[in-house]
Structure 1
Amino acid sequence: MDRNFLDQLRQQTSLRDLIGRYVQWDRKKSEEGRGILWACCPFHQEKSASFKVDVGRGQYYCFGCHKKGDAISFLQDRDGLGFVEAVRQLADMAGLAIPETDLPKGPDSRPLYRAMDVAQEFFVAQLKGSEGVQARSYLVRQRGLSPDDAKHFGIGFAPNSWDMLVGALEKSGVSMADAEAVGLVSKSDRGQGYYSRFRGRVMFPIHDARGRLVAFGGRLLEGEGAKYYNSTETAIFSKKKTLYNLHQARTQGRKDDPMIVVEGYMDCVALHKAGFGRVVAPMGTAMNEEHLQELWKYNSEPVVCLDGDKAGLNAADRLVAMALPLVRHDKTLQFITLPDGLDPDDYIKHQGRDAFSSLLSEAQPLAD
């Protein structure tokens, strides 16, 4: 990439703010006046601050694990990003446009992301409107969610209509080819035209680790059909690589705070509502190696929360068998098992936050 652009990007990126999202500065050891900051290293476990940031030079160095570099390499090491992706994220933060000549060539995915964003606006508006009365009742009365909870997770509603979403997409200039490519609509078998694939469902937007909207999960309110229905695999969405809520969970709390893995969307919402922000869920599939590697970027010992029924215990056995060849001293797992018949949402409602905190404190290491 153009060296002048990279120099400008480094100059306009505050290491204090960037790294401060992941660490707590040691106020006693830091020398604010000289622009020298110290913290416990975000790359390895330690009790005393050996990670030094020189704000003026835009450099960091850990005297413990010897990681060093600048803003770009920090994102590469901390979040497991490639060079170009790290530059993209920093450019977005700094409000800088990457020179076109520096961008890798390939299919233009921007129309696909726009189709998803337009659909999200439609679903949120429907939840707030007359079509969303039953969905709002379900969220408030059955799930105990407030409007702020729904807003935080971007929850919406797909009305039980074949063509309302199609009309909204077309009105906003989204081509049906793009809408079909991201799994929002399908061609009608009865002639020309398209129909919405999500109907009569509470909608959960699903983002990639960068925060881009890539898919939806829909919870059926009534009638026949699958209780939960996820977007199909597309050019911007892969179930085996995606964890629900990771884009928010990865920036919550400290890196040493446990990353909790639960089964479903509502479990994530319930735990977040109870104050556990670092919580994610696989996309209706079993945890796989790619999920684990993604989790380990943000926490060295994720806690897997399992339902206490036979299916949950069987899932634990499969996960242990898959994970054992991958674990290291700085990459492992912990487990907590809920009482039979309760999922995390139920447990929080019946036992409360403190009881769940106690479960977390007694999480069993993989070795046990």
Structure 2
Amino acid sequence: MNRSIPPEIVEEVKNRTDILSLVSEYVTLRKAGRNYVGLCPFHKEKTPSFSVNQDKQIFYCFGCGEGGNALTFLMKINSMAFPEAVRQLARKAGVRIPEKPLSKEDRERFSQREQLFRLNEIVAGFYEKNLLSAGGERARTYIRDRGIDPKIGKAFRLGYAPEGWKALYEYLSKQGVPLKLAEQAGLILPRSDGSSYYDRFRGRLMFPIEDVQGHIVAFGGRVMGDGEPKYINSPESPVYVKGKNLYGLGKARDEIRGRGFAVLVEGYFDFLSLWNAGIRNVVASLGTALTREHVDLLRRFTGQITAVFDPDEAGRKALARSLELFIAGNLEARAVVLPDGLDPDAFVRKRGKEGFESILARADSMVDYYIDSVLKSEGSIVGDRRAFREAAAFIVRFDDAVVRDLFVRRVAERLGVEETLLKKEVQKGRFEGNTPGKSPAAAPEKGAPSDTLELKIVRMMLQYPDRIPETAESEILQYLREEDTGTVAKAVLDSMRSAGKLDVASLVDGFRRPDDRRKLMQWIMEKEPPLEEQVIDRMFADAIQQLRKRWYRDRHRELKMRLGKAERAGDHETCHSLLTEIQRLSSEETSLRA
């Protein structure tokens, strides 16, 4: 923990953050009893096992075991350090964190990610200012000629990188920005002789690339003439990894949730033209091939995707790759191939919002579209055999037997061949190793104790802490024999004694070992039906009585075993002592029953 943030400030941030609101920014949740459930953002699953409890301000996944409070969630999902997560939540909650002038040592320790975010903000401002300057006239004309409203350009912070080789470098030098940091962000490059730097982006229209939280993580630059390459993106950095960001997702996510599906396009202007036309449930893949990380990002906000592809061979291959990823990610996918070879940018400028919406409404299932495109009959045995083998090679790539079987049925019907023939071809491919071979990571052991009685009473203590009988507190700790249940019970009782209530989030924070935290989170989040107080009291009494009976039974057994050993050894003194202890124990048990 970064001690520069006072603990009381951290507590205030946690108290003023609603975990349900926070998690809902990343995961689509639905109410289920006392909890809210959704697909886990930390592992792939088809059935929701991720649960958020608003009353207790915690989350837990029964599939992978991840759990914790709002800070834990933010740190995990954004790969943030603790101080960075606290600062982000503090800004959202309106909590001021006292700042001191940073020493050189403090600056070096300060979050590298935070430094890069700040640097990218400075650079975005520089590019924006240049777009509005006299030197940016050409770029402004280009944006206008592409039909983009200036308000849209401003909303997405479009900018202009000047023609010169040193414009940004000199600006950052004057601002006192560490040049090594700018080099790490890929904004400037060292000269071959090491004497100075020059700008990566020159004479280009600039697109800031944001993550889901709105941090600028990278830039894309487009040439406005015939130069090559047409587009340049920032290289990877500690805040930007290619294939893990979708352009516009941070701004589009609410519309995606509202409409129930996302439109996936390829380029910046495809995105901006659709947004400009009023189609706001859209994201762009930044010109890169779709990745598993892209699918995971989309899955947080919707279960349905409509992807736009080119009508050529490259587009068909991209569709095949995407279909495989969408199925693996349990997303329902539809495919759109626009007429006349138009891309979304050109199509929506020509046909407008209504024309594009009409195409979306008629979008085919991606599975059907792929099968049709692969199995287009060439009217020959050779052509049909090629289609048969290509389809089999594609089906092989799926680990899910149900998915394979569904594909086999549809392809066999479409080709007019026996299902058994296609199944044999698929099985042959899997036997020969033409399969990804990646099996999902096994979920960690739940770690439930073997003693169901102890687990029952500890879960009751977690669910109904205010109904724990005060007279039985010491008995509970005495009778619990497993270390994990005993530790949790003691922590619950200590919290009740000191604060008069159970602070679940703080209780979880007190368990440092990941396995202990997972175990505790599971016990807390397991569903319990609402019960009347009398029923809860009776359950506590019955459970404690069973614990007591077991403890005395085990103690009697232990003493009798020791007595037998002493008798065989002829140790009369120990025999006498043990008999006395057995009698005392019997009397004590009888009095408790009374």
Q: Establish whether residue 218 from structure 1 lines up as the match of residue 221 from structure 2.
A: yes
Q: Is the alpha carbon distance of 1:146 and 1:256 closer, same or farther for their aligned partners in structure 2, counting shifts above 3 Å?
A: closer
CA distance, structure 2, for counterparts of residue 132 and residue 185 of structure 1:
20
SS of the residue aligned with 2:255? coil
Q: Cα deviation per residue 1:90-122 (whole Å; 9 max; x = unaligned)?
A: 33311336799xxxx886333322221111111
Partner in structure 1 of residue 517 of structure 2 = none
RMSD between aligned residues: 3.9
Q: CA deviation at 1:288?
A: 1.0
Work out the CA distance in 2 between the residues paired with 1:6 and 1:165. 38
Structure 1 pair 171/296, CA: closer, same or farther in 2 (3 Å)?
same
1:285-307 CA-to-partner distances (Å, cap 9, x unmatched) read 10011111111111111221112
- 1:152: Cα distance to partner? 0.8
Aligned residue in 2 for 1:313 = 316
Work out whether 1:228 is the aligned partner of 2:231. yes
1:130 and 2:134 aligned: yes
CA distance in 2: counterparts of 1:336 and 1:71, whole angstroms? 41
Q: d(CA) in 1 for partners of 2:307 and 2:228?
A: 29
> Where do 1:23-42 residues align within 5 Å?
none
Q: Which moved more, 1:148-157 or 1:88-97?
A: 88-97
Between stretches 272-281 and 184-193, larger displacement belongs to 184-193
Deviations 1:191-248 (A, max 9, x none): 6111111011000000112211111100001253200011111122111211111221
* Aligned structure 1 segments of 4 or more residues deviating by more than 4 angstroms: 1-7, 14-23, 51-54, 57-61, 73-76, 79-89, 97-100
Contact 2:256–2:262 (CA under 8 A) maintained in structure 1: no
Tell me what 1:65 maps to: none
> Is 2:155 the counterpart of 1:152?
yes
Distance in 2 of aligned mates of 1:285 and 1:180: 23
- Take 2:166 and 2:119, find their aligned partners in 1: how far apart are those partners? 15
What's the counterpart of residue 108 of structure 1? 112
Q: Deviations over 1:302-325 (max 9, x none)?
A: 22111233322221122223443x
Percent of residue pairs identical: 35
Q: Using the alignment, how far apart are the partners of 1:306 and 1:353 within structure 2?
A: 18
State the shift of 1:254 in Å: 2.9
**Matches of 1:322 and 1:53 in 2, distance apart?**
31
Relative distance call for 1:360 and 1:89 in structure 2 (3 A) is: farther
Residue in 2 that maps onto 1:355: 355
Structure having the larger proportion of residues in helix: 2
Distance 1:176 1:86 in 2: 26
1:91 paired to 2:94:
no
| Partner amino acid, structure 2, of 1:127 | L
Q: Does residue 201 of structure 2 align to residue 198 of structure 1?
A: yes
Shift of 1:82: 7.0
Change (3 A) 1:6 1:114: closer
Q: What is the deviation of 1:166?
A: 1.0
Displacement after TM superposition at 1:135 (Å):
0.6
Q: Could you tell me whether the CA contact under 8 Å between 2:211 and 2:249 is conserved in 1?
A: yes
Larger Rg: 2
TM-score (norm 2): 0.50
Q: CA deviation at 1:169?
A: 0.9
Aligned twin of 2:70: 72
Q: Is the 8 A contact 1:259 1:302 kept in 2?
A: yes
State the Cα distance separating 1:16 from its structure 2 match. Answer: 9.1
Residue segments in structure 1 that go unaligned for 5+ positions in a row: 24-37, 45-50, 62-68
SS state at 1:244 partner: coil
Q: Is the 8 A contact 1:249 1:277 kept in 2?
A: yes
Relative to structure 1, the CA distance from residue 224 to residue 17 in structure 2 (aligned partners, 3 Å threshold; closer, same or farther) is: closer
Q: Is the contact between residue 22 and residue 42 of structure 1 (CA under 8 Å) also seen in structure 2?
A: no
Aligned residue for 1:333, secondary structure, equals strand
2:26/2:301 contact within 8 Å kept: no
Q: CA deviation at 1:5?
A: 5.1
- Larger strand percent: 1
Alpha-carbon distance in 2 for matches of 1:87, 1:132: 39
Which 5+ residue runs of structure 2 have no aligned equivalent? 28-32, 40-50, 60-66, 100-108, 369-594
Greater alpha carbon shift after TM alignment, 86-95 vs 205-214? 86-95
Q: Could you tell me whether the CA contact under 8 Å between 1:15 and 1:58 is conserved in 2? A: no
Matched, 1:120 2:116: no
Cα 1:340–1:161 shift into 2, 3 Å = same
After superposition, the Cα gap between the structure-2 partners of 1:71 and 1:351, relative to the gap in structure 1 and judged at 3 Å, is: farther
Using the alignment, how far apart are the partners of 2:286 and 2:88 within structure 1? 25
Aligned counterparts of 1:223 and 1:358: Cα–Cα separation in 2 = 34
Instruction: Indicate the residue corresponding to 1:47 in structure 2.
Output: none
What is the aligned partner in structure 2 of residue 335 from structure 1? 335
Distance 2:185 2:79 in 1: 25
Distance 1:4 1:255 in 2: 38
Of 111-120 and 293-302, more deviation after overlay is shown by 111-120
Cα separation, 1, equivalents of 2:190 and 2:124: 20
Contact 1:11–1:58 (8 Å) recurs in 2: no
Distance 1:10 1:114, change over 3 A: closer
Once residues 68 and 196 of structure 2 are traced to their aligned partners in structure 1, the CA distance between those partners, rounded to angstroms, is: 52
- Alpha-carbon contact 2:190-2:196 (below 8 Å) kept: yes
Give TM-score scaled by structure 1 length.
0.77
- Amino acid of the structure 1 residue aligned with 2:93: A
Partner letter of residue 357 of structure 1? Answer: E
State the Cα deviation string for residues 326-359 of structure 1 (Å, max 9, x = none): 143xx33222221242010111011111121122
Letter in 2 for 1:128: L
Q: Name the SS of the counterpart of 2:304 in structure 1.
A: coil
Amino acid in the other structure paired with 1:302: I
